[in-house]
């Protein structure tokens, strides 16, 4: 199984696990009557947690019926035909890959893989990269030549990484500091 299929299954699994967690809390509410703050609050908790479970369960079902709507396919479609880009990504990920937190640096691609999220940017599409501070949280901001903006936070849910090392690695891989690299991309 290639990286693309592995990532699709991973994202689907994370939605199923979230649905399972909400379903478990719904059962706790039904069994114990929790929270006990007002009359029928246990039933209200059961209904709300059940609705959240159905919400998270609906996404993998929709993606199974309409695969083109899956976030991985949506991201791959940005850079060409899904099958061709998927094959390129799979071959890149079987080669030499350097990992810094949730970032995967292949020969030609920057892949952001935080477990439940997937984004991919070819190095030749990167126009600029910078760090920013947002309420004591350092972020990496990448701008592409097509005007798209990617912003990744250093946080527990999105992945812990050293912003300075990631910034340096992206600049080196995309040849942003090399004057010859800028001429090649232009």
Residue 180's pLDDT band, with cuts at 50, 70 and 90, is low
The backbone torsions φ and ψ at residue 141, rounded to the nearest 5 degrees and listed phi first, read: -120, 125
Q: Which two tokens stand for residue 152?
A: 């990744």
Q: Is residue 67 part of a domain?
A: yes
Segment 71-84 shows an average pLDDT of 95
Residue 82 in domain: no
Q: What is the pTM of this model?
A: 0.85
Secondary structure class of 84 (helix, strand, coil): helix
**Are residues 105 and 142 located together in one domain of the fold?**
yes
The DSSP element (H or E) to which 132 belongs, if any, is strand 126-134
Confidence of residue 65 (pLDDT cuts 50, 70, 90): very high
The Cβ of residue 65 has, within 10 Å, a number of other Cβ atoms equal to: 8
What's the number of domains the chain is made of?
2
- Average confidence (pLDDT) over 56-73: 96
Is the per-residue pLDDT at 184 higher than 80? no
**100 & 173 share domain:** yes
Same domain for 115 and 35: no
At which of 36, 56, 72 does a domain end?
72
Place 149 in a pLDDT band, splitting at 50, 70 and 90. Answer: very high
Per-residue pLDDT at 38: 86
Asked whether residue 53 falls in the same domain as residue 104, the answer is no
Structural domain includes residue 81: no
Residues 43 and 113 in one domain: no
- Position 37 confidence tier, pLDDT thresholds 50, 70, 90: confident
Regarding whether 137 and 100 lie in a shared domain, the answer is yes
The C-alpha atoms of residue 170 and residue 112 are separated, in whole angstroms, by 12
- Whole domain around residue 155: which residue ranges? 96-185
User: What was the pLDDT predicted at 135?
Assistant: 75
Residues 14, 46, single domain; the answer is yes
| 85: in domain | no
Do residues 145 and 129 lie in contact, with contact meaning Cβ atoms separated by under 8 Å? no
Q: What is the Cα–Cα distance from 140 to 171, expressed in whole angstroms? A: 12
pLDDT digit string, tens, across residues 116-127: 899 999 999 999
Q: Comparing 20 with 180, which gets the higher pLDDT?
A: 20
Tell me if 83 is assigned to some domain: no
Helix 3-32 with 82-94: angle, nearest 10 deg: 90
Q: Is the pLDDT of residue 185 over 70?
A: no
CATH code, domain with 142: 2.30.29.30
């Amino acid at each position: 199984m290639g990286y693309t299929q592995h990532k699709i299954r991973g994202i689907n699994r994370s939605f199923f696990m979230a649905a399972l967690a909400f379903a478990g809390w719904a059962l706790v509410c039904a069994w114990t009557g929790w929270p006990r703050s007002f009359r029928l609050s246990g039933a209200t908790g059961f209904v709300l947690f059940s609705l959240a479970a159905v919400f998270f369960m609906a996404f993998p079902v929709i993606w199974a019926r309409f695969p083109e709507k899956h976030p991985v396919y949506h991201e791959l479609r940005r850079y060409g035909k899904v099958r061709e880009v998927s094959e390129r990504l799979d071959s890149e990920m079987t080669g030499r890959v350097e990992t810094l937190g949730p970032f995967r640096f292949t020969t030609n691609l920057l892949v952001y893989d935080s477990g439940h999220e997937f984004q991919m940017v070819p190095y030749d599409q990167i126009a600029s990269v910078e760090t920013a501070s947002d309420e004591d949280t350092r972020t990496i901001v990448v701008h592409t030549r097509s005007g798209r903006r990617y912003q990744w936070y250093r946080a527990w849910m999105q992945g812990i990484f050293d912003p300075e090392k990631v910034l340096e690695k992206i600049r080196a891989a995309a040849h942003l500091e090399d004057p010859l690299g800028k001429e090649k991309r232009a």
